[in-house]
């Protein structure tokens, strides 16, 4: 069994896609823990509904967060950490000690880096008049969105598409892509 820890900051739709894939036996994995930087994140509720342990980060300073998470994660068997809509930078000790992947809602190297997440990315794509966008799954290193790319999925951006339209297309592609990447890594 392949053991996952998922980090999420918001609604947890990507987390739910992983939970659903596990329940459908599309992934031979188990999510041992869901971590959030926000006690209001609906991802925590999704995890609790699935019987998964949850944890809300308590500290505010980066070095204290690193120590807090290192202490916590040592209590769990972890093969892979998945950042699924997690909006904080991961500390260097976690990057050094764990295999971590992230989903990003653009085709890196475009529309990425610090401050580029969620609707900000899709608005930038539409504003730039891009004809193609998509989703990237990459390994996490110590720089925002600069780790080695594992997989990219392209979607067409129509001239009539709004940022919301692009977001919906990318979210659908991103979830499918992430499940394939997790499956490949777990095998």
Query: Is residue 6 in some structural domain?
Result: yes
Average pLDDT over residues 50-76: 90
Query: Is residue 151 in some structural domain?
Result: no
2-7 and 80-83 beta bridge pairing: parallel
This prediction has a pTM of 0.94
Host H or E run for residue 167 = helix 163-186
Instruction: Select which of 104, 122, 138, 180 is catalytic.
Output: 104
104 is catalytic: yes
In this structure, which long-range contacts are made by residues 163-170, counting pairs with CB atoms below 8 Å and at least 24 apart in sequence? 163/119, 163/122, 163/123, 163/125, 163/126, 164/122, 166/122, 166/125, 166/126, 166/133, 167/105, 167/118, 167/119, 167/122, 169/133, 170/105, 170/106, 170/122, 170/133, 170/134, 170/135
Query: Is residue 84 in some structural domain?
Result: yes
**pLDDT tens per residue across span 113-167:** 888 999 999 999 999 999 999 999 999 999 889 999 999 999 999 999 999 999 9
Query: Is residue 178 in some structural domain?
Result: no
Identify the CA nearest to 5 among candidates 75, 68, 58, 66: 75
Angle at 85 between CA 111 and CA 162, to 5 degrees: 50
Pairwise CA distance, residues 87 & 170, whole Å = 17
Query: Is residue 67 in some structural domain?
Result: yes
Identify the CA nearest to 144 among candidates 98, 72, 186, 87: 87
139, with CB counted inside 10 A (0-12, 13-18, 19+), is middle
Pairwise CA distance, residues 14 & 159, whole Å = 27
Query: Is residue 48 in some structural domain?
Result: yes
Domain hosting residue 76, numbered range: 2-98
Q: What is the chain's alpha carbon radius of gyration, rounded to the nearest angstrom? A: 16
Query: Is residue 168 in some structural domain?
Result: no
Residue 88 pLDDT grade (very low, low, confident, very high; cuts 50, 70, 90): confident
**pLDDT tens per residue across span 100-114:** 999 999 999 999 988
Look up the CATH number of the domain holding residue 7: 3.40.50.170
Number of domains in the chain: 1
């Amino acid at each position: 069994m392949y053991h996952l820890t998922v980090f999420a900051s918001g609604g947890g739709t990507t987390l739910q896609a992983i939970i659903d894939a596990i329940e459908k036996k599309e992934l031979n994995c188990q999510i041992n823990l869901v971590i959030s930087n926000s006690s209001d994140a609906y991802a925590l509720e999704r995890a609790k509904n699935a019987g998964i342990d949850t944890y809300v980060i308590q500290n505010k300073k980066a070095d204290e967060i690193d120590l807090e998470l290192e202490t916590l994660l040592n209590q769990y068997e972890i093969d892979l950490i998945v950042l699924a809509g997690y909006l904080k930078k991961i500390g260097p000790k976690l990057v050094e000690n764990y295999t971590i992947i992230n989903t990003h809602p653009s085709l890196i190297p475009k529309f990425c880096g610090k401050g580029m997440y969620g609707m900000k990315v899709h608005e930038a794509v539409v504003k730039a008049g891009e004809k193609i966008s998509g989703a990237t799954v990459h390994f996490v290193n110590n720089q925002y969105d600069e780790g080695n790319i594992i997989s990219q999925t392209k979607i067409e951006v129509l001239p009539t598409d709004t940022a919301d339209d692009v977001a919906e297309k990318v979210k659908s592609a991103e979830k499918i892509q992430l499940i394939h990447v997790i499956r490949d890594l777990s095998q």
